[in-house]
């Protein structure tokens, strides 16, 4: 005799890949993020690494404060990365674009 179907909300009715843990954090370029593959604290800042830090913070892998401390960033600098991505996408993380945006913000 077959067992009756699981009622809605029962653990057995969840997708098989769900194990109750936090879903994986996917960085801007599609890679899965973990503490082990965060950029090293002394790394040269390139757009990809900035995007990885932003993904880690937004996904809850590390806190905003931890990111600032780990990477010796000011809160304003990390926020400027976030605002740049929100406004113009990942290409905005290039140093020249960020510098230009800061100049424009100061002017008016």
Predicted confidence (pLDDT) per residue in 82-102, tens digit: 988 888 888 888 876 666 666
Task: Give the Cβ contact number of residue 47 at 10 Å.
Answer: 19
What's the CATH fold of domain 25-107?
Arc Repressor Mutant, subunit A (1.10.10)
Q: Where exactly are the structural domains of the chain?
A: 25-107
36, 61 contact by CB (below 8 A): no
Q: Are 56 and 36 in contact (CB under 8 A)?
A: no
pLDDT score recorded for residue 100 = 66
Q: Which two tokens stand for residue 57?
A: 């913070």
pLDDT at 64 over 60: yes
User: What pLDDT is recorded for position 91?
Assistant: 83
pTM: 0.66
């Amino acid at each position: 005799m077959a067992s009756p179907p699981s009622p809605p909300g029962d653990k057995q009715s969840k997708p098989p890949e769900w194990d109750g843990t936090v879903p994986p954090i996917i960085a801007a370029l599609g890679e899965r993020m973990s503490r082990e593959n965060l950029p090293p604290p002394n790394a040269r800042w390139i757009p990809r690494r900035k995007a990885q830090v932003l993904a880690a913070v937004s996904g809850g892998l590390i806190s905003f404060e931890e990111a600032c401390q780990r990477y010796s960033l000011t809160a304003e600098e990390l926020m400027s990365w976030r605002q740049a991505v929100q406004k113009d996408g990942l290409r905005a993380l290039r140093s020249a674009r960020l510098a230009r945006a800061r100049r424009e913000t100061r002017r008016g």
